Each structure stands twice: as C-alpha cells, then as structure tokens.
Amino acid sequence: MSKVEKVALVTGAGSGIGRAISLRLLQDGFVVILVGRRRAALEETAALSVSGGKAMVLPADISKEEEVDALFEKVRQEYQRLDLLFNNAGIFTRSASIEDVSLENWQAAVDVNLTGAFLCTRAAFRLMKNQLPRGGRIINNGSISAHAPRPHSATYTATKHAITGLTKATSLDGRKYDIACGQIDIGNASTDMTEKMERGILQANGSTAIEPTFETRYVADAVSYMAGLPLHANVQFMTVMATNMPFIGRG
C-alpha cells in the first residue's frame, strides 16, 4: 500500500447519507471500504464514484459479532491499517407510542443502531491502537434524535442517545492511543428515509406538518472537514440541519 493512502470504512454505505459520505471520501483521496448488507447497493455506490478513488465492497451485517470481526480482519490483511471509521448504519422501526413498542422492534433497533456501532468501534479501536503509525478517527452518526425525540420514536431515540454516550466513552478511552472520536448530528438531510417529512410528519402537538430538508452534500462537506483534521484536533460534536426544521423548541 502506498504511504499516502488513507483508509476509511463506512457502514450503511449503500444509500443515503452513507453513500454521500463514501463518495466524498473517495473524492478526498481515501481508500473507502463500503459496508452494508446488500452487495448490489454497495456496488452501485462504488460505480457512482467519478474521482478515480479506490472503493472496496465488503458486505456484512454489523449486528453480528463474527461478521464484524471478519470484516475488520479483511481490512487489516489488505491494508494493514484503518484511518477513519464512519459509523452510519441505522434503522427506523415501526412508529409507535412506547406502550405499543414490541420487544422485537426494540431489539432490532438496538442490534443495528447501537450494538452494530459498538462492534465496529471496538474492532476499529483495536486496529488503530496497534497499527503504525498509531491512531485514527471514529465519527458516529448521532442524529437530531440524540438530543430530542419525535413522537412515537422510543427505539430510535433511545439508541441515538446511547450513541452519544458511546462517542464520549470512545473519545476518552482513545486519548492515550491517538484515537479521536466525534459525532455528527444530522437533521432532515434529504434521503429516501426523509421523504415522509416532505409529505407531512407527526409533530409533538399532534398536528402533521411538512418539514424542510437540505441536501446531503452539506453533510458530506461536514464529515470531510472532520475527517481531514490532524489527530491532535477533534470536532467532538457537530449539528448540521435544515435551518427551519422544528428542532430548537421542538415539543
């Protein structure tokens, strides 16, 4: 591997924010490991790159410990290092008031949104700690829901609040190993998952309202900035959102 290459791994890289971030990191000169459950979607992301950057498609279910460990072992064998992990993969379960949330839906959200991020963070941390030169950066996709809930979103909100704790703990544990960890909280970036906001979505007062969105390229700009910092500097938390979305004063 060339000494000038930096290696990034993006989970949930087959669509939406994960795809936008992957393409931007390729443009920035990273070798990008594209991770998700659907190979076809990951290959579509790789095919969209116009930068000539190197993309590697590695399908995996990040909620499974053995798959995550095998994934990072492949990265270690192929590149001997990892410079950036973007923990992005996440799911929304069925919208429901908390008394109607099934254990199945609760567990599904925890498995992907929280356990998946933990497993990837742990594996990346182990690699970054021992590689030469030592260190790296982990960026977690927290979401506005890491701060304030929407109605009927107990599973997503709880897991995203937990991501904030994971970010802080990783940042603290990483100091002595030159591992920086930060979090980007995104509000209403325009993706397939936010189309319903443009049609009208339930508000805290019981009404339904159309919410503004903004282009994912601005999220990509923000992550590119975070990823480009030297390891002695860190964006601990950043919020990027549609200016007029109901976040400040939500509820």
**Rounded-to-integer distance, Cα 151 and Cα 209, Å:** 13
DSSP annotation string for 154-214? HHHHHHHHHHHHHHHHHHHHHGGGTEEEEEEEEESB-SGGGHHHHH-EE-TTS-EE----B
Exposed/middle/buried for 5, CB within 10 Å: 0-12, 13-18, 19+?
Answer: middle
For this structure, is 79 an active site residue? Answer: no
Reduce the DSSP state of residue 126 to 3 states and report it. helix
Reduce the DSSP state of residue 239 to 3 states and report it. strand
**Rounded-to-integer distance, Cα 22 and Cα 28, Å:** 10
* Pairing of β 208-209 and β 201-202: antiparallel
**Rounded-to-integer distance, Cα 182 and Cα 66, Å:** 26
Residue 11: name the closest of 63, 53, 48 by CA: 63
**Which entry of 156, 177, 218, 225 is annotated as an active-site residue?**
156
Task: Output the CA–CA distances (angstroms, integers) from residue 14 to 77, 137, 190, 204, in the order listed.
Answer: 23, 21, 15, 32
- Which helix (H) or strand (E) segment is 20 a member of? helix 16-27
**Catalytic sites, residue numbers:** 156
